[in-house]
Amino acid sequence: MAKKRFAQVGLGGRSWMYTSAVMDRYPDVCEMVGFCDINPGRLKMRVSWAADTGREVPGYEAKDFERMVAEQKPDCVIVTSGPDVTHSDYIRRAMELGCDVITEKPMTTDEIRCRKIIETQKATGRKCTVTFNYRYSPPRTQIKDMLMSGVIGDVQSVDFHWLLNTHHGADYFRRWHRNKRNSGGLMVHKATHHFDLVNWWLSAVPTKVFAMGHRKFYTPATAERAGLTKRSERCLDCPEAGKCSFHVDMRSNESLRDLYLENEHHDGYIRDRCVFSDQIDIEDSMNVVVEYDTGAKLSYSLNAFTPWEGYMIAFNGSKGRLEHVCQESVYINGDGTVPGELINEGTHTRVFPHFQTSYSVDLWTGTGGHGGGDDPLLADLFAVDPPKDKYLRAADERSGAYSILTGVAANHSMASGQAVRIAELVPGLRRPDYPPMPTDEDPIEMVKPNVKLVGAHEAGELKKQQVAAKQGG
């Protein structure tokens, strides 16, 4: 059987996962036939790495992307380029040249580019896969499984709060993500993961969005309040390095030094800009309300300066409530550590049935990046004949579009102060393929309550009895 031929464009921090999967995990069925990057230094690093392991993979500068496709004839192009705004051009051109596409999230950054991708896919018939690894994380798949089972009935509202800590969250304000023209802001770049999870968990698509947001932490004023009065525009050799908690020393981190510091003279990209710069134009705190085609409503928040990393989510259904809390490891992109690994002690799920006693659920667990989602995602992408997936976790351009459009609509809403309808951004967008879910037409069984309502005095007496029992034990 002939190996499937892959070419990859964009060789920054996130790209390595795909390179190693093609060349090291699945070499019997996959072959890397070309690398492409805007930075000649990073391109040389990747080509040299392949050569050092006995494999010759030609490298092409970004301006020669079409020549790479013509000469190497890949079956599929992997798009891991940065900034995010560059994704759409590579996705569309690869499909026009006869290739399938695997792209990192977000698929693109605004509704205009999104429309063009949808139109190109329709015209070419090529396959476009968007890599939502969080769908594959065992605890998140378990939530989908529980919702599909009907344990809380049909979901009517969702409360979702995502926390980015002062390591990972701050890092978005150092890099190209700090400007909306590059990333769409955190509402697109980061929240595309979260909005896709909700779409998939509910088997629903967003219809209307209202949002508010601001940047009040990563500002010059915060730096002044902290006494950082002599800061420079980047961390490297900043006079305040000794007392700034947000300082990043790229010289001391081999991965960051090799990938970025030693290659910045090629393209001028500065990886360690000051998080308190006045050149930042994205929000660091956002609140969003979303309506879905099932009638469900979402209340969502994202804050990028919290002490711990992870999320809290609660689903309110016709038969009860499901609560899920997840804590993730600390990292910054490209530093050589595992991104978003689960902290088991801080992760738990609990079900609260109507009129019944609540109970904890034993977690499905996994190891590795993004809560254990990276490895099963890679198997789905690159293994031959992956097993049938009842959760339909593989995502195409429709899921990629709906995931970003909630964030795009949120950006428009924050700017206008008005709610934004998704159908006005990309008219006629088809619904993705999702598993069936409980609906508001399903019967609800009335159960006899096994919990007792008590007054304040009786509750106090019960509490005393519980404390005494624990002390006696």
Contact 423, 111 (CB under 8 A): no
pLDDT tens string 316-361: 999 999 999 999 887 566 665 566 577 778 899 999 999 999 999 9
Crossing angle of helices 87-96/111-124, nearest 10°?
A: 10
Asked if pLDDT for residue 456 goes beyond 90, the answer is no
pLDDT tens string 103-130: 999 999 999 999 999 999 999 999 999 9
3-state secondary structure the chain: CCCEEEEEECCCHHHHHHHHHHHHHCCCCEEEEEEEECCHHHHHHHHHHHHHCCCCCCEEEHHHHHHHHHHHCCCEEEECCCCHHHHHHHHHHHHHCCCEEEECCCCCCCHHHHHHHHHHHHHHCCCEEECCHHHHCHHHHHHHHHHHHCCCCCEEEEEEEEEEECCHHHHCCCCHHHCHHHHCCHHHHCHHHHHHHHHHHHCCCEEEEEEEEECCCCCHHHHHHCCCCCCCCECCCCCCCCCCCCCCCCCCCHHHHHHCHHHHHHHCCCCCECCCCCCCCCCCEEEEEEEECCCCEEEEEEEEEECCEEEEEEEEECCEEEEEEEEECCCCCCCCCCCCCECHHHCEEEEEECCCCCEEECCCCCCCHHHHCHHHHHHHHHCCCCCCCCCCCCEEHHHHHHHHHHHHHHHHHHHHCCCEEHHHHCCCCCCCCCCCCCCCCCCCCCCCCCCCCCCHHHHHHHHHHHHHHHHHC
> Rounded to an integer, what distance in angstroms lies between the CA atom of residue 69 and that of residue 58?
12
> Rounded to an integer, what distance in angstroms lies between the CA atom of residue 193 and that of residue 132?
7
Q: What is the CA radius of gyration of the chain?
A: 24
Q: Would you place residue 386 in the very low, low, confident or very high pLDDT band (cuts 50, 70, 90)?
A: confident
Contact 272, 250 (CB under 8 A): yes
> Rounded to an integer, what distance in angstroms lies between the CA atom of residue 89 and that of residue 108?
9
Q: Would you place residue 469 in the very low, low, confident or very high pLDDT band (cuts 50, 70, 90)?
A: confident
Tokens read off for 192: 């595309």
> Rounded to an integer, what distance in angstroms lies between the CA atom of residue 376 and that of residue 383?
10
End-to-end Cα distance, the chain: 67
15/473: higher pLDDT = 15
Contact 137, 371 (CB under 8 A): yes
Contact 184, 411 (CB under 8 A): yes
Contacts of 197 (CB under 8 A, 6+ apart): 132, 134, 135, 140
Peptide bond preceding 387: is omega within 30 degrees of 0, i.e. cis? no
Per-residue buried b or exposed e for 126-135, using 16+ beta carbons within 10 Å of the residue's own CB: bebbbbbbbb
Contact 125, 135 (CB under 8 A): no
> Rounded to an integer, what distance in angstroms lies between the CA atom of residue 227 and that of residue 82?
34
pLDDT tens string 199-254: 999 999 999 999 999 999 999 999 999 999 999 999 999 999 999 999 999 999 99
Mean pLDDT of 159-187: 98
Asked if pLDDT for residue 367 goes beyond 90, the answer is no
Contact 184, 412 (CB under 8 A): no
C-alpha closest to that of 406 among 105, 86, 100? 105
Q: What is the per-residue pLDDT for 332?
A: 66
> Rounded to an integer, what distance in angstroms lies between the CA atom of residue 191 and that of residue 109?
12
Q: Would you place residue 56 in the very low, low, confident or very high pLDDT band (cuts 50, 70, 90)?
A: very high
Asked if pLDDT for residue 464 goes beyond 90, the answer is no
Phi and psi at residue 12, to the nearest 5°: -80, -160
Mean pLDDT of 366-371: 73
C-alpha closest to that of 138 among 332, 316, 360, 375? 375
Asked if pLDDT for residue 147 goes beyond 70, the answer is yes
Mean pLDDT of 29-44: 98
Q: What is the per-residue pLDDT for 338?
A: 61
